[in-house]
Structure 1
Amino acid sequence: MRWRTRLTLWAAAISAGLLVVGFAWLAERALAGFAWLTAGHLWLALLITPAIGMLVVGLTVRFFPGAQGSGIPQVIAATRLAGQHKPVGRLVSMRIAVGKVGLGCLALLGGFSAGREGPSVQVAASVMHLFHRWLPHARIIRAPDLILAGGAAGIAAAFNTPLAGIAFAVEELGRKLETRTSGVLLSTIILAGMVAIGVQGNYNYFGKLSAQESGWGTALAVLVAGVACGLLGGVFSRLLLWPQRHAHWRLWRWRAAHPVWFAGACGLLVAVLGLISGGMSFGSGYGITTQIINSGADLPWHAAITRFLATVLTYFSGIPGGIFAPALAVGAAVGADIAHWAQLGSAALPVVALCMVGFLAAVTQSPITSAIIVMEMIDSHGMVISLLATALVASAISARMGPELYQQLALGFVRAQSATPARDAIK
């Protein structure tokens, strides 16, 4: 029975890894499609982005409720509810996984500032939850632990960073693993990451940054990046929590009553920001960040501002889409601005990396995961101490400004699901 359990879990991990890799491929095609549609005619985004936003949110509300937003809060909520033997079918299911992939890619085709990495967490968790019913003895592995492992496998496969997936499981999703099952579950996380490596190759998500830590200059860069990104990331988190914490405001009541029209309005503003930025705020931000890391590309001073605002508006719109890649793009743009103002020249890239990890850590308040993700994505093992230090500083500052973003958002899903009739009970 032990080997049947392992084989079932490994089959689940392979399936999750393949689905996440397929999601990545479709997302890349969608980003390329938007670039093709607006090539030489960027003003077309004023029509395309609002229209696709309305279509995506309309389909989400009608057919895929629970697929909106990042997906990470839904997985956190599902682990809590499953631990209480409450239904989770409206948070993790194959219906939601299909909607997350299809509608998430459609939103990228519309130019929204969203990523696929957070949604990959919900997609992989949905796959793992499906396989729970096929375990030879369902009580061998608890449903919450399997959902948690699925979410972490999604991070491992999406970023091609198995180590970050393990850190994410412990630090953000579950905060603990059952001792008797931790080895088996960790093997599923690693296997999902290995599937991504096997299909896509052992690549670095943003390329490779060759840099080493160097004394007091590095210490000053850590302090500046940590404080600046901690403050900015704290503001970002508070903005994303605004609808949940002030649901009585007229704007959010109107959004609840007219989600499709609200999405159209957000899409129009995202398009305007894209025009102002010369197209830099459209999409996930992957392309721009890669250019900065690999070739030190110069950005206009407003790149961080337009990307920041476009990502907030994209989240407000209610489309299925994550904030990981856009957050890294904001951090990279902030780092480029700091390096330009300080006239760092060839020393700019380490500051860019520090700001990437600082902003991501401030948004998620998961410093270890953020440091490992950035370290693995740009192969910057020579900066491991400074990346971790920046993440800790930024996370500490953000924590003084508000609660943890994903944990707080998850509370909203827990409350909503607790009030739902138990027709979606765990099987």
Structure 2
Amino acid sequence: MDRRRHRLIPHAIVLGLLTGLITVGFHLAVDMGDAFRNRLIALAHQSAVNSPWIVLGFTLLAVIVSAGLVICYAPEASGSGIPHLKAILLDNRPFRWLRVLIVKFLSTLIGSTGGLVLGREGPSVHIGGAIGQGLTTLWPGKGSLDRSVLVAAGGGAGLTAAFNAPLSGLTFVLEELERRCSSLEFFAAAIACLTADMVCRAVLGQYPVFHFAVSGVPPLNQLIAFIPLGILSAVFGSLFTYFLLWGQKLTERSFCSKWFWWITLAMMITITAWQKPELLGSGQSLINSMLDSEQLTLQQVLLFIALRFVLTIGSASSGAAGGIFMPILALGALLGWGVGMATQLLLPELNVDSRLFAVIGMAAYFCAVVKAPLTGMVLIIEMTGNYALILPLFVACFTALLITDWLGSPPVYEALLEHDLRKERTQ
């Protein structure tokens, strides 16, 4: 075992370097696409005639091209790609790694630029796994076991580079990708995640993804207020999984239904872009604006939750590449903010901070949808740089997990994988 570990070190380092570099480039490209979309919307507002039609035409074209790339060249690159990666690790599918990498990068970039409410984090995991497969293919002398090790480690490195969160990437490998993980997988994933994180921090800086400072440890008398947040996260998380699977089935009925979905989605994105462009995209800027200075009313929060919920389901079911990782966190932040405001109104003596509830809500909602509580908790701690959140995170996340189990809602990535396998068996 020691010899095999030593043999894996150079491969894991190269895997981390390549995944970090490509993921950072992916990050910067998506940011440039978001800036381009915002400039286009601003120019359309200044136009005297036909201004909304400019945005509608651009959005519809982006949706068609983004989904068309996937349909024509790499159907396995649709969505986040995490279910496909899980199938690869179960030896259920071949891995056309180079095609997936290229189509994933381009489709996510085009769709995100067009305003699809999808994130780059799931695709970063898929891209990292593709790079792991590529190393297995191109590096001489690799066996079948090393293939699984490097694909899983690449997925963890992709998540690490997407969030600047090495422990989260490693936990995701252990909890979601390789649940029967041996010490060999753990060793390779740890090296790849740390290497990818160093690349990411060297290029993008060492600041946490979300800007939120906790003034001391939340008092114990506030912990009970996080139980309702966990319950609501479980209910809305179960609904999210149900409607996501429903959307997948609906768009697969015929090509006409897919076109109808694309046109309807483009119209909804255009209306949102015209009124509230900050609600488009992955949701990271929306979360940061909430945690920095945004003061939302309860009515605004409810409206934003409804819009983001529908747009996320619509975007994820469009057939384009793009993840639901960050959109899930954005929905959780909005839900947490709403629960915090309701707690302020009903129990003013607790003196709660809605921003704290927004942060805890991200982990609770993630836990309800993905059912990976350790990844959710570690991710939020790393993304905020606040270890004082551990107690409210435990209360909200495990409440969400217990209620979601009671409701019978499956983990979203496993449900999507089962849906894909069922579809293949019927074809």
Question: Is TM > 0.5 for Structure 1 vs Structure 2?
Answer: yes
Secondary structure of the 2:75 match is coil
Give the aligned partner of residue 416 of structure 2: 409
TM-score using structure 2 length: 0.88
Which structure has greater helix proportion?
Answer: 2
Change (3 A) 1:319 1:386: same
Q: Distance in 2 between matches of 1:217 and 1:346?
A: 10
Displacement of 1:205: 0.7
Unaligned runs of 5+ in 2: 46-51
Change (3 A) 1:218 1:348: same
Contact 2:283 2:327 in 1 (8 A): yes
Contact 2:218 2:389 in 1 (8 A): no
Secondary structure of the 1:39 match is helix
- State percent identity of aligned pairs: 25
1:28-427 matches, cutoff 5 A: 28-39=31-42, 41=44, 43=52, 44-81=54-91, 87-90=93-96, 93-139=97-143, 141-243=145-247, 247=249, 251-256=250-255, 259-275=258-274, 278-298=276-296, 300-301=300-301, 302-343=303-344, 347-401=353-407, 402-414=409-421
Displacement of 1:405: 0.7
Contact 2:222 2:352 in 1 (8 A): no
Give a deviation string over 1:246-274, Cα, whole Å, max 9, x none.
x4xxx445445653553233222333344
Change (3 A) 1:406 1:181: closer
1:17 aligned to 2:15? no
Give a deviation string over 1:45-89, Cα, whole Å, max 9, x none.
3332222111211222112321111111111111112xxxx5422
Q: Distance in 2 between matches of 1:180 and 1:126?
A: 19
Letter aligned with residue 66 of structure 1: E
Q: Distance in 2 between matches of 1:105 and 1:208?
A: 28
Letter aligned with residue 94 of structure 1: L
Displacement of 1:311: 0.6
Change (3 A) 1:419 1:352: same
Contact 1:116 1:322 in 2 (8 A): yes
Give a deviation string over 1:149-206, Cα, whole Å, max 9, x none.
1111111110000000111001111112123453233212222222212221211011
Q: Distance in 2 between matches of 1:103 and 1:72?
A: 16
Letter aligned with residue 371 of structure 1: M
Q: CA RMSD in A?
A: 2.4
Q: Distance in 2 between matches of 1:242 and 1:258?
A: 13
Give a deviation string over 1:389-408, Cα, whole Å, max 9, x none.
21111122223331111012
Contact 2:132 2:154 in 1 (8 A): yes
Letter aligned with residue 323 of structure 1: I
Secondary structure of the 1:146 match is helix
Unaligned runs of 5+ in 1: 421-427
Comparing 20-29 with 389-398, greater Cα deviation is found at 389-398
Displacement of 1:126: 0.2
Comparing 10-19 with 380-389, greater Cα deviation is found at 380-389
Change (3 A) 1:213 1:182: same
Displacement of 1:4: 5.3
Comparing 281-290 with 127-136, greater Cα deviation is found at 127-136
Give a deviation string over 1:125-156, Cα, whole Å, max 9, x none.
00011101344532384322221111111111
Comparing 318-327 with 177-186, greater Cα deviation is found at 177-186
Q: Distance in 2 between matches of 1:319 and 1:59?
A: 8
Q: Distance in 2 between matches of 1:144 and 1:257?
A: 39
Q: Distance in 1 between matches of 2:333 and 2:115?
A: 20
Contact 1:357 1:387 in 2 (8 A): yes
Q: Distance in 2 between matches of 1:340 and 1:234?
A: 23
Q: Distance in 2 between matches of 1:338 and 1:171?
A: 28
TM-score using structure 1 length: 0.88
Comparing 116-125 with 313-322, greater Cα deviation is found at 313-322
Change (3 A) 1:332 1:184: closer
Comparing 255-264 with 146-155, greater Cα deviation is found at 255-264
